[in-house]
Amino acid sequence: MAFVSKFHTPAFIAVIAAAALTTLTSTRAAAEAMLLIEADSGKVLHAENATYPWYPASITKLMTAYVTLHAVKNNRLTLDSLITVSANAAAQAPSKIGFKPGTTVTVDNALKMLMVKSANDIAYVLAEGVGGSVEKFADDMNAASRRLGMTQSNWVNPNGLPDDRQISSARDLAILARAVLREFPEYDMYWNISAIKLGKKMMRNHNSLIGRYAGADGMKTGFICASGFNLVASASRRGKRLIAVVLGSQSSAVRGAKAASLLERGFNTNGFQWISASLGTVESLTPISAEPPDLREEMCGKHRRRPAAEEADEEPTTSAGNQADPNSPTAFMLSSLAPASSKASSLLAPAGGHVNPIVVYAGPAKNSADTQVAAARSKLDKAAKTAAKKPDTKANQVAAAPAAAAPAASGQIAAAPAQTGTTTPAPTPARVAAPAAPGQIAAAPAGQFAPPPAATTRTSSRALPAVSETPASPWMSFAPSAQAATVPAPLTAVPPAPKAAAVPMPRPRPKNTAAR
């Protein structure tokens, strides 16, 4: 008993609490952040730690490209403008192109090198060429974040090299990716380049989905030891475009497989997505106030077989199908997707296939990129005008006028006219009850207690409820659905029934008390 009592002291309880806190912290550091949204609507299909702060690493360059294209769109410079490599840019750590100070390159070629090679020196070249200095360009990046509603993001450099002040989240990066696709559709060519060729050297895109996952068309990867392997990926199928964000994966192969799995589940909803709970839009996700997880030891510690790096694309994918532990006290997951039906790594074609690299170079433009973008913009405008001319059969469908109702036969209920979009049906004439026979109780008029026709008749405008009619996530709230309740139709006035004749009741027999 003395032995047992020692373990009920406050000191022992404090030790247990400290151990639990340590486990909680390590679990949080090991968790991943994942998010899947629709590019057009911003609707969230899956969210896992999506609002947890994270180091963006080289996904920062997606914001660098966004600010640069805004400058081009505002005529501050053109894609064919020459920008110069400074000594500060040339001194940046790898990954890099390695141009010497004083070298000039067009904005177009710099963007291609930035997105494919993820060149840190080229990010500085663009920042200094657009903003005049890295500090002023970082101010432009933060101004863009505020404009887009990226409330968890802060930028201090254009390339994502380690800096504890440079923070974002899966939520914010998805907002950024969506803005890039929606605001600059004529620049789509920059997001899905499979490889570039500089002189005799060919450099493949670090995004393992490009050319290997059906429909993949962008966007950007990132890695530093503190963040793990990050990826923002987009893909399109059958007119539907999705954006997946994966942060904190164990390797580049794992992040690619997980992004492919998310996208595949998003495309395979089979038209029954309205059944699942609505998770809202990406902007409506509530940010979490916390410190970003530091994965330095996990990603770059001595236990690794080889140093983790962005170029390590051939790492085994044995854990590619694993998700962050949903039972973790720090894992926050919402999903309207069905479970994966196949192994994540099987969704990607084998690596190392043939690619057609785009040639990049230093110096003036050989072929005007501005002309190519103008042609792409003209093509998009033409497609938009063609689509506008086509009638929208669903939106413009007009219900046929109701046919005149035939007169009701004697003792029958007149047929109600067809519904024409009004919310309250026309009153239904009631049938008048016949007088009761002598000795009978008068019958109630037919249909007096029946529900109105509108309560039992399905309208023909659609057979299934719309997505907006799905209830809020049951595990998020117990509040009633925001869908307006249907107002019942008023009761039809019924003429009073004729007074029934009195029914004579038999007299009760006298009780035989003597028999008791």
Domains of the chain in sequence order: 23-368 (3.40.710.10)
110 closest CA partner among 65, 156, 47 = 65
Residue 383: what pLDDT?
85
390 is an active site residue: no
Query: What are the structure tokens assigned to 232, written together?
Result: 């923002």
Task: Give dist(CA 383, CA 156) in Å, integer.
Answer: 39
58 is an active site residue: yes
118 is an active site residue: yes
Task: Give dist(CA 90, CA 125) in Å, integer.
Answer: 9
Adjacency order of strands within the sheet including 228-237: 216-224, 228-237, 240-249, 33-38, 44-48, 333-335
Query: What are the structure tokens assigned to 311, written together?
Result: 């170029």
Q: What is the pLDDT of residues 42-89, one digit of tens each?
A: 999 999 999 999 999 999 999 999 999 999 999 999 999 999 999 999
Ranges of beta strands (E only) in 100-146 are: 104-106
Determine contact, residues 105/363, Cβ cutoff 8 Å.
yes
**Which residue type is seen at 213?**
Y
pTM over 0.75: no
Residue 423: what pLDDT?
43
User: Which is the catalytic residue, given 81, 95, 118, 252?
Assistant: 118
Question: In the chain, which stretches have pLDDT less than 50?
Answer: 1-30, 312-330, 393-495, 497, 513-516
Determine contact, residues 131/112, Cβ cutoff 8 Å.
no
Residue 512: what pLDDT?
52
User: Which is the catalytic residue, given 61, 96, 220, 258?
Assistant: 61
Determine contact, residues 413/406, Cβ cutoff 8 Å.
no
Residue 237: what pLDDT?
96
Residue 515: what pLDDT?
46
Residue 59's contacts (CB-CB under 8 Å, 6 or more residues apart) are 160, 168, 173, 220, 221, 222, 230, 231, 232
Query: What are the structure tokens assigned to 501, written together?
Result: 């004749």
Residue 381: what pLDDT?
87
Residue 323: what pLDDT?
42
Q: What angle do CA 62, 213, 114 make, to 5 degrees?
A: 25
